[in-house]
Amino acid sequence: MGCSLRRKVKVITDAMGGDFAPFEVIKGALLALAENKNLEIVLVGRFEEIKKELGTENKRITIERAEEVIEMDEPPTQAIKSKLRSSIVIGTRMVREGKGDAFVSAGNTGAVVAASLLNIGRIKGISRPAIGIVIPTPTRPVVLIDAGANADCKPENLYHFALLGKVYIQSLHSVSQPKIGLLNIGEEKGKGNELTKEAYKLLESSNLNFIGNIEGGEIFQGKADVVVCDGFTGNVILKVAEGLAETLMAEVKEAVGSTLFSKIGGLLVKPSFKKLAQRLSYDEYGGAKLLGINGVVVISHGKSNAKAIKNAIQFSYETVKNEVVAKIKEELKTFN
Amino acid sequence: MGCSLRRKVKVITDAMGGDFAPFEVIKGALLALAENKNLEIVLVGRFEEIKKELGTENKRITIERAEEVIEMDEPPTQAIKSKLRSSIVIGTRMVREGKGDAFVSAGNTGAVVAASLLNIGRIKGISRPAIGIVIPTPTRPVVLIDAGANADCKPENLYHFALLGKVYIQSLHSVSQPKIGLLNIGEEKGKGNELTKEAYKLLESSNLNFIGNIEGGEIFQGKADVVVCDGFTGNVILKVAEGLAETLMAEVKEAVGSTLFSKIGGLLVKPSFKKLAQRLSYDEYGGAKLLGINGVVVISHGKSNAKAIKNAIQFSYETVKNEVVAKIKEELKTFN
């Protein structure tokens, strides 16, 4: 595995994925190349469209033809079966065939998950892959897993998510024994729904550093390094946090503009606010990582701009460089 | 029913419930009495403790002895069976026996729900009672239901929550056809987990004004008047929103204090910020309403201070005055 660090990392990028594709994706890819000399990019998508946007030649960027596009609202399983010439299907296949080290897409999340499962496959011993997402908290980053890959889960799945989250946070930071929390309603054992009650028992009897239940509000206090939940709840949490942060920042701005005095004050606090808004912006985070798949797959926000895409590509580069997939396999040996 | 409006409303208040009981509860009860001349209060709890805190006599306040206390972390069903002399068990019984018009508690939520079910009972035709909570959005209040009474739900339960939420928002505001949204991951029909997929079909075929799926972030945009979900998800949403709002406001404050310029600016924006913080504070909202019970039960936040208790009591008064329970029964006739 060691030599993978010295050679260049090739990231297959879905040029057709996301609300602002292909323009922002291509712009993001070029930004990523400019920043990182060890990177090569394959843009997958409609050849003519990409060619037109790409402009001048860049020897570290190539185009792979994929004439079909899976739309954001298409039913995933059906879409990946009927659109075999889509960027998502071809991109994930290229990873399996070793034609690239990672796949990055801001497209239909469900389709990326389904295509990754079908074309790249699960890591042996992991019942279900899950989306791990890094949440910014004032003290440290926290991994929320599953953030939306599995709407219905079994207790065993949640146990596997904990394992995946553990290795993931370890690969991002040097945390020796990451604290694992189970997202639940109420702190005490025995609280929650049927799923969390059973998952609690599994986590408690494992050799993970399980610290018990974590309530919704405690995620942002950085009480646990990894917060485990089913994909329905995880996705709701993400969307609530995003929506509320937007609403609150807008209200703060409005409050600032409401009187002459506060307007003057607003000008003075502006630089500090800008820094905060930047820290909270999802553009800064490299997208969601699909964990438990036998390869590196990064799902970027559907609203990704060039900067978000650039970060997602850079993030997939780090994940390859840090050999996260190999580390998950290694970790599984300790547990199974 | 009309004469209930002219006589005084008697609110049974759990003097032992919440983290700051009995002191803050009693203070809140006295504040409520001072504000509302049509109110009478019965404080249920440990006689000596209440007597001591109460001080001077008030002819609109009486004490009902309940020497046992159900702690915040006790398993609800067990607690209400073993502690028959607790304020929660006695308080809910008093409502059934007509010794009061409403019960207000900042105590163990699960115990209040279980005791209300056992002692007051469900409204006929409602499969499960649910907690409805008013969420402040910049445009208008939105009711989230269920906010925590039922950790595991069936599709039919969600349909009943929609009915309860509809009548509730109608009783609070003059909305003629409240928009009902189903909390889900993804906008399109067919998205979600097994529960929401089935609930979607039920809501779609009902004669409610069902507007489809609502994503987590859209709650705060006031897209729907009523947002329906299972109690696990609803409770997580509440806690996430509360925790994130706290964290963000703290960060805004820190950002303001980070440079000399922004400090001066901070002083100028302070009054506007204070107004915003006040609007977002749960003290301002009258607690959560347990809907579907054949009586008025209000559950206040465990961290309630006197102001929050005062508002919860006032809120229970409004609910009695607006005959919400009778209206739910009336509405059910149209649907069953």
Contact between chains at A138 and B250 (C-beta distance less than 8 A): yes
pLDDT band for B282, please (50, 70, 90 cuts): low
Residue A333 lies in a domain: no
Asked whether the beta carbons of residue A239 and residue B217 sit closer than 8 angstroms, the reply is yes
Kindly state whether residue B328 falls inside one of the protein's structural domains.
no
Looking at the fold, whether A14 and A99 belong to one and the same domain comes out as: yes
The stretch A148-173 carries a mean pLDDT of 93
Which domain range does residue A221 map to?
133-282
* C-alpha closest to that of B289 among B124, B115, B152, B169: B169
Q: Are residues B277 and B299 in the same domain?
A: no
User: How crowded is residue A105: how many other Cβ atoms within 10 Å of its Cβ?
Assistant: 34
B284 confidence band (pLDDT: 50, 70, 90): low
Q: What is the pLDDT of residues A23-67, one digit of tens each?
A: 999 999 999 999 999 999 999 999 999 999 988 778 899 999 999
Residue predicted with more confidence, B316 or A241: B316
Whether A165 and A83 share a structural domain: no
| Chains A & B: contacts with CB separation below 8 Å | 191
Mean pLDDT of chain A: 89
pLDDT reported for residue B11: 98
Which of B113, B153, B221, B248 should one mutate to test binding to chain A, selecting the residue with the greatest count of A CBs within 10 A?
B248
Q: Which of A152, A232, A255 sits opposite B269 (nearest CB)?
A: A255
What percent of chain B has a predicted confidence (pLDDT) above 90? 68
pLDDT average, residue stretch B1-19 = 79
Whether residue B329 lies inside any domain: the answer is no
Contact assignment for B269 to A267 by CB distance below 8 Å: no
Question: B208 and B222 in one domain?
Answer: yes
Strands (E), B276-329: 288-291, 296-299
Residues of chain A contacting residue B75, judged by C-beta atoms under 8 Å apart? 190
Residues B15 and B55 in one domain: yes
> Long-range contact list for A84-89, CB < 8 A, 24+ apart?
A86/A16, A86/A111, A87/A14, A87/A15, A87/A16, A87/A17, A87/A44, A87/A45, A88/A14, A88/A17, A88/A112, A88/A115, A89/A115, A89/A119
CATH of the domain at A13: 3.40.718.10
Residues of B in contact with A243 (CB under 8 A): 215-221
Distance CA A254, CA A245 (A): 14
Residues B162 and B57 in one domain: no
Quick one: B142 and B84 in the same domain? no
Min Cα separation A78/chain B (Å): 13
Q: Which residues of A touch B247 (CB under 8 A)?
A: 137-138, 220-221
Spatial neighbors of B167 by CB under 8 A, at least 6 apart, are: B324, B327, B328, B331
Compute the nearest-CA separation of A198 from chain B (Å): 13
User: Please, which pLDDT band fits residue B236 given cuts at 50, 70 and 90?
Assistant: very high
pLDDT of B190 higher than 50: yes
ipTM field: 0.89
Q: Name the residue in chain A with its Cα closest to that of B222.
A: A247
Nearest to A217 among B73, B152, B242 (CB): B242
- pLDDT averaged over chain B? 89
Q: Does the pLDDT value for residue B87 go beyond 80?
A: yes
pLDDT tens per residue, range A96-113 = 999 999 999 999 999 999
Rg, chain A, Cα only: 20
Is residue A335 domain-resident? no
Which pLDDT score is estimated for B2? 42
- Do B79 and B164 lie in one domain? The reply is no
**Which pLDDT does position A259 carry in this prediction?**
72
Query: Would you call A236 and B183 a contact, using CB atoms and an 8 Å cutoff?
Result: yes
Which of A213, A228, A258, A269 to mutate: most B Cβ within 10 Å?
A: A269
Q: Tell me how crowded residue B121 is: count the other CB atoms within 10 A of its CB.
A: 13
Number of domains in chain B: 2
Confidence at residue A3, expressed as pLDDT on a 0 to 100 scale: 44
Phi, psi at B301, each rounded to 5°: -55, 140
The answer on B271 and B137 residing in a single domain is: yes
Substitution target from A153, A198, A247 for chain B, most B beta carbons within 10 A: A247
Q: Give a yes or no: residue B333 inside a domain.
A: no
pLDDT tens for residues B49-79? Answer: 999 998 877 889 999 999 999 998 899 999 9
- B44 domain residue, yes or no: yes
**In chain A, which residues have their Cβ closer than 8 Å to the Cβ of B221?**
243, 247
Confidence of residue B106 (pLDDT cuts 50, 70, 90): very high
**Mean pLDDT (whole number) for A200-225:** 93
**What is the full DSSP assignment across B40-103?**
EEEEEE-HHHHHHHH-S--TTEEEEE--B---TTS-HHHHHHH-TTBHHHHHHHHHHTTS-SEE
Q: Would you state the pLDDT for residue B145?
A: 97
| Pair A32, A145 in one domain | no
- Kindly state whether residue A301 falls inside one of the protein's structural domains: yes
CA distances from A309 to A28, B278, B329 (A): 5, 38, 54
Whether A213 contacts A179, CB under 8 Å: no
Residues A119, A155, single domain; the answer is: no
For residue A49, the distance in angstroms to the closest alpha carbon of chain B comes to: 29
- Check whether residue A256 and residue A141 sit in a common domain: yes
Q: Is the pLDDT of residue A256 over 90?
A: no
Yes or no, beta carbons of A216 and B194 under 8 Å apart? no
Residue B26: inside a domain? yes
Identify the CA nearest to A88 among candidates A71, A101, A63.
Answer: A71
pLDDT of residue A4: 46
Closest partner residue to A240 among B217, B246, B256, by Cβ? B217
